[in-house]
Amino acid sequence: MTLIHTNIDELPQIVQELRKSFRSNLTEPLSYRKKQLRNFYRMIDENEQAIYDALYKDLHKQKHEAFVGEIGWVKQETLDTISNLKSWAEPDYVKVNVGHMLNKCHVRKEPVGIVLIIGTWNYPINLLFMPFIGAIAAGCTVILKPSELSAHTATLISELFPKYLDPNAYRIVSGGVVETTALLKHRFDHIFYTGSGKVGKIIMSAAAEHLTPVTLELGGKSPAIISNDVDIPISAKRILWAVQDAFIKEAPKVIEQFYGPDPQSGTSDYSRIINKNHFDRLQNLLNQTKGKIVYGGNFDRDDLYISPTIVADVPKDDKLMEDEIFGPILPIVVVENLDEAIEYVNSRDIPLALYPFSKSDKTVKHILDNTRSGGVVINDCLMHFTVKDLPFGGQGPSGIGSYHGKRSFNTFSHERAVMTTPFALEKLVKSRYPPYTEFNVKILSLLFFSKPSKTRNVAFKGVVGAAILLLITYVIKKMKY
Ligand code: NAD
């Protein structure tokens, strides 16, 4: 299908309109944000079947998979956000030290402004809308740029948006590199990008021109370290399930249990490759590997079908091990021991997620203590993604920042420090002004600074606190109002 691209001549006006809306405080009231979140929920709910159809056309993604991996979470996140919004948006009053006792200090949660959210194709609903929910909640105006590769989903979203959501605040820009490049010339207040590290660098460079903060949700390899003490059938099943709609993994027995002997025509549960470019890339990888294809390896370019493929004895420097595969190919690298596995993981980019499989707490702790990654799931894959209070994101080459639940709200909010000081206190604070004296330094030290505590004794702290209070009372009495 051909995606209708947004005319790039319209982009300056779209950006300008959304900025104007933001400055007019249109998106500021919580009642407005909640209403838009409810409308967004309705948009998904009332068009669920159309979304399933689009995902199927784009990726051959089954309803079950589309519900569990995309629509279910997006709806749940919307509901959770609506019910928590009031408390998330409330100011935080902070504790102050003695010297600030009469000041009021709080943190206002303010929307950062106009934000750009750029999505990718493998979860075209989830990865575009999960951050969007946070941006609505925070009170931002938003431009969303869905991936042009999942064109059916992008087209559907573009049609539905103006029917449910306020076009003065939320707009879709359709298109690919040309449109994104044109968009990136504008100044945004935050850019949230999901996709490859290669494009992530382009996004970050463009953002740097305006000193715009970014969240980058990137990729790379997410290794599973399988210790020899595990339950192999369960591990195989969990690894395989986790990658079934993008890459695919492990064990012929499990593959056949999932898809039968012929995943191409014997089942409708098996996804296809997004387009011919990615198909050719994957086929080239398998042509170049020095590993041994021990299962699968069947291709049908017209159907964009690649069978679940397991490649064993893959050398550490193999072509298959260079970049994220993003297809149904499982390379297996055999190592002598745990430390060699850890060393191999550490010699590469920090992964988005790490999956240690082991029954031994000691082994798992050893892996956690000696590796780094965005997240970790022990004895399973991907599932941390489904817990809203766990941060989802990478580290360094696998990403910058994290989101889900309250973190999405925080991502698009600015924590503005607010301190209110009564004029009446001028005499109390005069010790900070010249002429500088030793006495004033002592007063300031008592009011604002503490000494390293040698004891954790609460009673002792109480006595010191009382002494400081007495001293302050004395100082205040000495002052002539
Ligand atoms: P993609 O081709 O869909 O690109 C992502 C977005 O970047 C698209 O909207 C696209 O239009 C835009 N884009 C592409 N090239 C561009 C350019 N030169 N300039 C400006 N914009 C450009 O997807 P992709 O890059 O192939 O994404 C796949 C990657 O996404 C994989 O590496 C995968 O690991 C990563 N990913 C990460 C997560 C996560 O949550 N961290 C989830 C899914 C996928």
> Six-digit token pair at 72?
């279910």
Dist. CA 332 → ligand 1 center (Å): 25
Task: Quickly state the pLDDT bin for 251 (edges 50, 70, 90).
Answer: low
The pair of three-digit structure tokens given for residue 155, joined into one six-digit string:
């087209």
pLDDT band at 432 (very low <50, low <70, confident <90, very high): confident
Residue 107 has pLDDT above 70, yes or no: yes
CB 148 within 8 A of CB 136: no
Span from the CA of 197 to the centroid of ligand 1 (angstroms): 8
Distances (CA, A) of 45 to 39, 54, 266: 10, 15, 31
Of 123, 199, 278, 411, which is best to mutate to test ligand 1, by the most ligand atoms within 8 angstroms of its C-beta?
Answer: 199
- Predicted confidence (pLDDT) per residue in 291-332, tens digit: 989 889 999 999 999 999 989 889 999 999 998 899 999 898
**Is the CB of 370 within 6 Å of ligand 1?**
no
Residue of 169, 141, 168, 173 lying closest to 157 (CA atoms):
173
pLDDT at 203: 98
Q: Which pLDDT does position 5 carry in this prediction?
A: 94
Instruction: Determine what percent of the chain is predicted with pLDDT higher than 70.
Output: 92
Residue owning the nearest CA to atom 15 of ligand 1? 177
What's the confidence (pLDDT) of residue 459?
65
Burial class (CB in 10 A: 0-12, 13-18, 19+), 346: exposed
CA of 149 to the centre of ligand 1 (A): 10
Q: What is the pLDDT of residue 301?
A: 96
Which one-letter DSSP state was computed for residue 403? B
Exposure pattern of 235-260 as b/e (b: 16+ CB <10 Å)? Answer: bbbbbbbbbbbbbbbbbeebbeebbe
pTM above 0.85, yes or no: yes
**Spatial CA neighbour of 304 closest among 283, 321, 286:** 283
- Residue 270: CB atoms within 10 Å: 25
Chain segment 185-234, per-residue pLDDT in tens: 999 999 999 999 999 999 999 999 999 999 999 987 888 887 767 776 67
Q: Residues of the chain with pLDDT > 90: what percent?
A: 69
Task: Evaluate: CB of 149 within 6 angstroms of ligand 1.
Answer: yes
Amino acid in position 337: N
**pLDDT score of 455:** 57
Q: How confident is the model at residue 15 (pLDDT cuts 50, 70, 90)?
A: very high
Dist. CA 463 → ligand 1 center (Å): 60
Q: Is 428 helix (H, G, I), strand (E, B) or coil?
A: helix
pLDDT tens digits, 448-480? 888 887 655 666 667 767 777 777 766 666 654
Q: Which DSSP category does 323 fall into?
A: S
Mean pLDDT calculated for residue range 372-400: 93
